[in-house]
Structure 1
Amino acid sequence: MNRRSSPGAGQWFTVVILVGTSLFLLIKLFQFASLRGNYPTGLTVAGVTVGGLSPGEATNVLTNRYIEAPVIIYHGQDRFEISPADAEFELDLEAMLSRADIERTQQDFWAGFWGFLWGEPVEVTPVELSATHNREALRRVLADISALMDEPTQPAQPVPGTFSFQYGETGTITNIEASFADIEGALYRASNREARLIVEPSNPERPQINLLTRLLVNSLQDYEQITGGAASMFVMDLNSGVDEIAINADLPMSGMDLLKLPIVLETYRLLDQEPTLTQSSWISSTLSADLGNEGANQLLRFVAGQDDPRLGAELVTQTMQRLGLVNTFIVLPYDSDPPAGTVRPSTPANSTEEVRTLPNPYLQTTAEDMGTLLSMLYYCAEGKGGTLMAVFEGDISQTECQTMLAFMLQNKIGSLIEEGVPQETAVAHRHGWISDTHGDAGIVFSPGGDYVIVQFLYKPDWLEWEISSPLLANLSRATYNYFNFDNPYLADARTN
């Protein structure tokens, strides 16, 4: 039997496999060695794969993904592209690539080669993003978008001819502070660099008192231009105690029946017990009805402590002075002629160069004085202290203040302040009129807040009721509607 001396096919196949494998491994080993200066397979820097890249190539890729790629910001449906440079966004490439080099140099050669062969990382720690930005610079960018896209709120406005106000229109406002988290998140992402601004509705604010002031001023100026007369008005928000309107409120005006209120106040200050039935009748007629002036003059006699109403008037005036109401005085009782030599008191109001209103020389006040007195009475009745309680401690009580207001609430005339508010609204007021001057001063207890309103109109020689009554009612309506903005009194305004 002959034995074959040459290798068989199987042996040749094995040799080929071994040689081929060796050549493949040698080639791959050479490739791996030549790429040994690049970053290891699977390494990520700031979420970007840089395996197999040189530091220069990695720098280009990171710059492209983070610096050159814009961030998309949505304001509602509107799309804006901003450059990261606008937010002064900067990559700390040196720090990140330094950590990447550490990963490269610390990797075991043969473990790295094995990962290179299979395309899988072996014990490679990702390098986290290291970057900074300037929040104030970003804020300026967002503020520019906000200024361009936000819709301003339209403020409330008077409704022409109605003495009421209409709601303003809702706008939009960008909440920049609340938007930072989403936008900065997009800025620090390598992909999906989109974010949304938080856009909120901007509701119109309740109208400020200057809106009511404009409406009142316009109406009173029209009256003065048409009639050649003078108008004076004072409004105070009793809830805030600080918001007020004073339109010619320091003009001296004839006191008329409005100054019966200080007479009753002085009466209660001097009473050391409940008023008698007769005294109560005098108080009622003085505050709540047009039954002549006898009740007021009788109270002046009580104040004087003798049958001298003129002395009582002097004492009432002194009380007004103590309260700081320096423009208010009563020299004579009602329906009396001045004795020879009677001198008109001088006040800051009537000492100006030109007094346009020709007030009664012996019975004067101003809208501001009357409004201030009413506010004192209100706070006393509400148990909130105030000037009356401070100046006349122990001489005037909360119950007495409440009683005075109760009498004034019975003063029903159906016009002037009352006509400008709903019938069910409580109005504690005292009105008065003479040939050339009409006025009303009161406290309105409305659902939207309590307030003082004092109105005076003067016209030389004769003031027609057809002129004064609708105007004073309309001004009262405008004031009521300001304080009750959400539920205005929409009765048809009377025309002058």
Structure 2
Amino acid sequence: MKSKFLWWALGILGFVFLLSSLTITIVEYQRFKASTAVFPAGSTIAGVPVGELDAAGAEARIADCYNLPVTLHIESSAIQASPQELGFSIDVPSLVQAGLNQIRGGGYWAALWNRTTASPVAVPLDASVDRVILVNYLNTVISPRYTQAGASVTPIPNTTNFDPSASGNHLDVDSAAANIETALLSPDIHEADVPVVDDSGDTASYASLEAFLRHNIDWVGFDGLVEVYLKSLADGQSLHFAVWDGETVSPDIAYSGFSTIKIPISISLMRRLDEPYSDTVINLMEEMIVNSENTAADTLMAYYIDETRGPLIVSEDMAALGLENTFLAGYFYTGAPLLQLFATPANSRTDIDLDPDSYNQVTLSELGKLLEGIYNCAENNSGLLNETFPGEITQPECRLTIDILTLPKPLQFIMTSLPPDATVADKYGYGLDMDGIFRTITDNAIVYTPGGDFILSVAVYDPDWLNATDGQRVIGRLSQTVYNFFNLENQAYWWFDTQ
């Protein structure tokens, strides 16, 4: 009986102890939940020091830091913008809670046994910048206030001149956005540079240049055929068109070559002559190019290319260069036999037939390609001539040829209206047709100018009779217009006549 009572007493006592332990645990848990955690010294959240601060204090400090306005520097000006305007967003409570979780790493039981960490916590920044909002702010708020667009180059009607573009500037949006993002995502940086890039102004397009050249043909009042081939030697852009009495026609028309065929003869000579050239050869080349002496051309072909087939070898060289419309079918001397009859894409056209000389024909684009080949050979020892005839045509030979093409000539066409700072290496051609009527002038040039070098070939044709002065006016006005296109800051002005 006594033993049974003892067991009951022990059971009741155990229950009391168990109930007391549970009560103590619940009370301590409530205290744990109600306790205010303090971050250990040296703690950082999102790069902001929060040591010895409770959760509320940490949130306030972080919010204060990341809500500071960002000062944007635009050249000599500055403007402040709130992070929210710039697309910045941050969840501060979540960051602080992540820090608290590190402090309370073991939860209630770790705190009960006094095993919570006293080491500093470090919570990295977790924030974002909406690039769409940021870029929109730059484009709609900053750009209209602090930048100004430039004005495009505009041709001036009834002149050869262009109204130069007005310079402007624009924001470098990508760089500005990157700088601002860096500031927004840093607790210490609250300013950012917004770069402004100067614009030199838009240049006139080649389409507008072509339209302006057509306008100037109309201004001169020439109603015959005009063909223009132009290529920039800096960027390779080109234009090529032809008009007849104001109507557009297909270019690459077959013309009688006259003395322009002496450019191909010079290239064939370069292939076969050894350096250094003798004085005799140089003198003959100068006579051929400068004075258009046919006897000099015949002598050079007969002695240095082939006495019988010299002209045909020149034609074969042109074919090797990919020029299928350029040929010389006989010597220049009176009564020279026609060595071969050439049919080409240009002289086989049915839409336009100028009845070109069966002995000697060219097209403007092919003459332009030859001059470009000589230019590249002289400047860089590269290009069409060097690639087609490797080791046979040298840079000094090309430079000598350009020097000869640059020598003063009895007449001027492309050079007529250009200022002294332009250097023209050209070969023109003109002559009487088989019926004794003067109809055609062509001039083909490498033009060196301060604003850029270019190839210009122009042909003028009148089916009835070409007044040489009219042809010179057309070519001179077109060449001056092209010069001004490349030299907007140093334009030439038309002073030859008024209309």
After TM superposition, list the pairs within 5 Å mapping 1:217-256 onto structure 2.
217-220=211-214, 223=217, 226-239=221-234, 242-248=236-242, 250-256=252-258
Match of 2:13? none
Q: Which residue of 2 aligns with 1:297?
A: 298
Task: Measure the CA separation in 2 of the matches of 1:375 and 1:105.
Answer: 78
- Alignment check: 8 A CA contact 2:86 2:129 kept: no
* Structure-2 residue corresponding to 1:18: none
Alignment of 1:329-344 (within 5 A): 329-334=327-332, 336=334
Letter in 1 for 2:91: L
Percent identity at matched positions?
A: 20
Q: Which residue of 2 aligns with 1:93?
A: 93
Tell me the distance in 2 between the aligned counterparts of 1:52 and 1:274. Answer: 91
Residue 437 of structure 1 aligns to a residue whose secondary structure is strand
Taking the TM superposition and a 5 Å limit, the aligned residue runs for 1:1-16 are none
Equivalent in the alignment of 1:321: 319
Distance 1:129 1:398 in 2: 65
Deviations 1:249-294 (A, max 9, x none): 523222121112222333443445766666544322210115x533
Alignment partner, residue 404 of structure 2:
407
CA contact (8 A) 2:161 2:493 kept: no
Equivalent position of 2:465 in the other structure: 462
Distance (Å, rounded) in 2 between the aligned partners of 1:105 and 1:321: 87
Indicate if the aligned counterparts of 1:71 and 1:193 stay in contact, CA closer than 8 A: no
Q: Deviations over 1:406-439 (max 9, x none)?
A: 2222233463222343335432211122422211
The structural deviation recorded for 1:202 is 2.3
- Relative to structure 1, the CA distance from residue 155 to residue 206 in structure 2 (aligned partners, 3 Å threshold; closer, same or farther) is closer
CA contact (8 A) 1:438 1:468 kept: yes
Structure 1 residues 181 and 231 mapped into 2: Cα distance closer, same or farther (>3 Å)? same
For the 8 Å contact 2:287–2:296, the answer to whether it is kept is: yes
2:439 to 430, 436, 439: 436
Deviations 1:340-388 (A, max 9, x none): x998522122333312655334422111111111122223334614333
SS in 2 for 1:407: helix
Aligned to 1:371: 368
Per-residue deviation at 1:472?
A: 1.8
Which amino acid letter does the alignment assign opposite residue 436 of structure 1?
R
Work out the CA distance in 2 between the residues paired with 1:105 and 1:313: 98
Unmatched tracts of structure 2, length 5 or more:
1-30, 107-117, 243-250, 432-437
* Gap regions ≥5 residues in structure 1: 1-32, 107-122
Contact 1:164 1:490 survives alignment (8 Å): no
Structure 1 residue matching 2:205: 3-state secondary structure: helix
Q: 1:460 corresponds to which letter in structure 2?
A: P
With over 3 angstroms needed to count, the CA separation of the structure-2 counterparts of 1:129 and 1:394, relative to structure 1, is: closer
Q: Does structure 1 residue 355 correspond to structure 2 residue 357?
A: no
Question: Does residue 204 of structure 2 align to residue 198 of structure 1?
Answer: no
- CA-based RMSD of the aligned residues comes to 4.6
1:473 to 468, 471, 476: 476
C-alpha distance after superposition, 1:91-118 (max 9, x if no partner) = 1523413535877999xxxxxxxxxxxx
Please give the per-residue CA displacement for 1:15-63, whole angstroms capped at 9, x wherever unaligned: xxxxxxxxxxxxxxxxxx9x964566999987699999986x997x689
Answer yes or no: is 1:211 the counterpart of 2:216: no
In the TM superposition, what are the counterparts of 1:52-451 in structure 2 within 5 Å?
76=74, 84=84, 87=87, 89-97=89-97, 99-100=99-100, 130-145=125-140, 150-160=147-157, 161-164=159-162, 166-182=164-180, 185-186=183-184, 195=191, 198-204=194-200, 207=203, 211-212=205-206, 214-220=208-214, 223=217, 226-239=221-234, 242-248=236-242, 250-271=252-273, 279-290=281-292, 292-302=293-303, 305-306=306-307, 311-334=309-332, 336=334, 345-355=342-352, 357-382=354-379, 384-393=381-390, 395-413=392-410, 415-423=412-420, 425-434=422-431, 435-451=438-454
Q: 1:125 to 1:304 in 2, by over 3 A?
A: closer
